[in-house]
A and B are shown apart, each in its own frame.
Chain A
């Protein structure tokens, strides 16, 4: 079964309680035909395990890589992906949409 927001945030709490470093990624803005709605969550632990989705697969890799730094230094950041962005070539939102993703530590 697909994971719901309930599962995702409850799992984030459980991972943190178990002493794992955890980052929470949230879609905060979309333009055009973005694949996941505003408010969608992805959680990532320090070993790169993840649950949820911010783009249906297009940019998860880049978000997960950035999450490792967020867990490491404890600083939140906002990432932007889309056609106007050079990273689109590398991580690709093939739908042509644009999204902004907030990645923050769960501390």
Chain B
């Protein structure tokens, strides 16, 4: 009797111990394997969805440039990048809006390192409509009335066009989820700081999704980076107000600052960049890094492109 219980106990303990050992060891194993295989420094890079393709392209190209460091990129939105910066879990945060002073202060307090700001390129926010929409240009004032709270424009007819592919004539507003830098920038560009977006827009999760949905939906209007354009959508020419000329979103107009909704793209390093992080940032700002900016449909920094 006693013997049997003893065996059962031992058996149970062995099973439990195996469980613990397996659970406890597997992550450690992975880590040590990763360490021995790549003695590289890993730069953690996170944030803006607008910039995630760009950051990915940089990271890929960088594997050919550097043998001592590699870059790990993830998206999630500018807000996610800033949160990671505040928690000190990234080396570089991507941000399609400027980080607020309160957030910078919080990051400095939490991590003891003051984030440093770098402008790494420019992005023009294009206003997209379905490619069959009989509309070619729009003013910021009209956009504000479409997207803003208590706005007066809700039908295509209000814009003075007859949209035969949209039987309900209702403008379907496509927007972004509220932790996106694009959302904040577009709201500020249209409505300033005193007015909010009207509720009832479709808040999608990514720059690419917006263009995709607009491309399938004749009634829709949306905003996203100009690099995301496809053949199913049309980019509108935009004027700052009814009296100003209209400009299409392109390289020249962004550099000449005539296109009204263009913004800088930021990278924030945690503290003064040192070592591999500094080498990486310098490379991004070099002619080679800026070439990739242009290739992805963004606008490179002026000084380097000339």
Q: Is the A/B pair a real complex?
A: no
Q: Which residues of B contact A (CB under 8 A)?
A: none
Residues of chain A having any CB pair with chain B under 8 Å: none
